[in-house]
Amino acid sequence: MNFEPSRSFAINKLNNFIEKNLIEYSKLRNFDYGPDQRTNISCLSPYVSHGIISEKEIISKCLKKYSFIKNEKFIQEILWRIYWKGWLELRPIVWSDYLEDLKKIKENFKNNQNYLDAIKGKTNIECFDCWVNELKNHNYLHNHARMWFASIWIFTLGLPWQLGAGFFMKYLFDGDSASNTLGWRWVAGVQTKGKNYVASDWNIKKFTNNRFDNIKLNENPVPVVDDRNYSILNNNFLNANLSDSKNLLIFENNLFFEQSNFNDQSFKNIYFVFNGNETRQIKLDEKVLNFKKSLIKDQIQNLKNKSLNCKMINVQDLKNMKENLLALYPSVGENLDYINSNNLKNISFLYRKIDQYSWKYCNKGFFNFKNYIPKMIQELI
């Protein structure tokens, strides 16, 4: 498995997937055949999570190839990301509570042998140890493996979900505050209260194509309990006035500027903001930071070829920039935290149309959100 940090690589991957594998996606997507056999899924998440390819671009290309009905499952999966994002945007305290919990739990578990064995891949649960190594070596796991992994972490190894989510964030190329935190909350049974995801021997055996067998797991656990209730914020996600500034900030979630809804504006300067470990609450693996940096460099080169004025800055530089700045909205996560905790009031936000339109449907569950998909496609794609 190979994730080259460039837009051209990502586009090739997408085109290949649509041509050869999309048609069988809904039938085969749950199978994890191992890191050398990933054609049954798209492996696009490291690019979509960085805005190198957008959900809109993917869906529109798929619909040129097949009808909506034939594409339905894949489109739903693509839109899960927007749903999770919107869900967290409406309840940002879930993210800040998660970070607070993680800080305390990390301190309490720093010498816990179960935890230390788990992150070294030395639990003697063969599949789990294998996924730990795969995560560290390839910076990616199949969706089903992420579910099994999280379930074993929480219910068989008895470790807090927050620590597992932090471990994923450290190593995943697609590490994303919403999909990751809410994915772990969902497995634990705190996202849909009382409904946990339980990994089982037969399911792992079947969907890994018999690569693992005779796995001793706790298959009757009770869900994790979290009594906190989060009320929904009333936020319209309205764009700042475009005449406020001619300088644009781009964070790591929206890197392909030409696909933003603002690419027709004549910005004097475009700054790509790199956020390193000094300023992150969850420290990332060096390979993940390098992946982000290389994607930024690829985009800078791309814009320079079109004679646009752009450069990479460090997130800490923002404190010294006193002029008004516009920014493609970084979403709830580490970059927005930096802006808020440093009270950088001179930065105002521009939102993607697809987010403005769809986040209002994220107040309830995904099954409700799903009903609006045809409408979203009609209006936006």
Ligand X SMILES: Cc1cc2nc3c(=O)[nH]c(=O)nc-3n(C[C@H](O)[C@H](O)[C@H](O)COP(=O)(O)OP(=O)(O)OC[C@H]3O[C@@H](n4cnc5c(N)ncnc54)[C@H](O)[C@@H]3O)c2cc1C
- Residues 46-75: x/- map of binding to ligand X (CB under 6 A)? --xx--------------------------
State which residue, 17 or 272, has the beta carbon closest to ligand X: 17
Radius of gyration of the chain (CA): 21
State which residue, 208 or 245, has the beta carbon closest to ligand X: 208
- Interface stretch with ligand X, choices 100-108, 144-152, 246-254, 329-337 (CB under 6 A): 144-152
Which of 42, 260, 275, 302 forms a contact with ligand X (CB under 6 A)? 42
How many Cα neighbours within 13 Å face the side chain of 143?
A: 17
Is residue 88 part of the contact set for ligand X (CB under 6 A)? Answer: no
H/E stretch holding 108 reads helix 93-108
Q: How is the chain split among helix, strand and coil, in percent rounded to 5?
A: 55, 5, 40
Closest approach of ligand X to the CB of residue 41, in Å: 4
- Interface stretch with ligand X, choices 38-46, 93-101, 241-249, 260-268 (CB under 6 A): 38-46
Is residue 161 part of the contact set for ligand X (CB under 6 A)? Answer: no
**95, 96, 101, 104: CA torsion to nearest 10:** 140
Do the bridges between strand 269-274 and strand 347-350 make them parallel or antiparallel, or are there none, so unpaired?
A: unpaired
Cα gap 39→250, rounded to integer Å = 32
Is residue 352 part of the contact set for ligand X (CB under 6 A)? Answer: no
Q: How many residues bind ligand X (CB under 6 A)?
A: 28
State which residue, 87 or 212, has the beta carbon closest to ligand X: 87
Which of 4, 72, 77, 201 forms a contact with ligand X (CB under 6 A)? 77
- Residues 223-262: x/- map of binding to ligand X (CB under 6 A)? ----------------------------------------
**CA-wise closest residue to 252 among 219, 224, 279, 222:** 279
Is residue 180 part of the contact set for ligand X (CB under 6 A)? Answer: yes
Q: Record the tokens describing residue 295, joined without a space.
A: 């994607």
Q: Record the tokens describing residue 75, joined without a space.
A: 């489109």
Is residue 44 part of the contact set for ligand X (CB under 6 A)? Answer: yes
- Please provide the distance, in angstroms rounded to a whole number, between the alpha carbons at the two ends of the chain: 30
Q: Record the tokens describing residue 14, joined without a space.
A: 């997408």
Closest approach of ligand X to the CB of residue 264, in Å: 26
Phi, psi of 372 (to 5 degrees): -90, 0
- Interface stretch with ligand X, choices 182-190, 267-275, 298-306, 350-358 (CB under 6 A): 182-190
Report yes or no: 189 and 151 within 8 Å, Cβ to Cβ: no
State which residue, 153 or 329, has the beta carbon closest to ligand X: 153
In the chain, what is the greatest distance between 2 CA atoms, to the nearest angstrom?
A: 63
Cα gap 3→257, rounded to integer Å = 20
Which of 7, 50, 91, 146 forms a contact with ligand X (CB under 6 A)? 146
Q: Which residues bind ligand X (CB under 6 A)?
A: 29, 41-45, 48-49, 77-78, 80-81, 84, 142-143, 146-147, 150, 168, 172, 174-176, 179-180, 183-184, 187
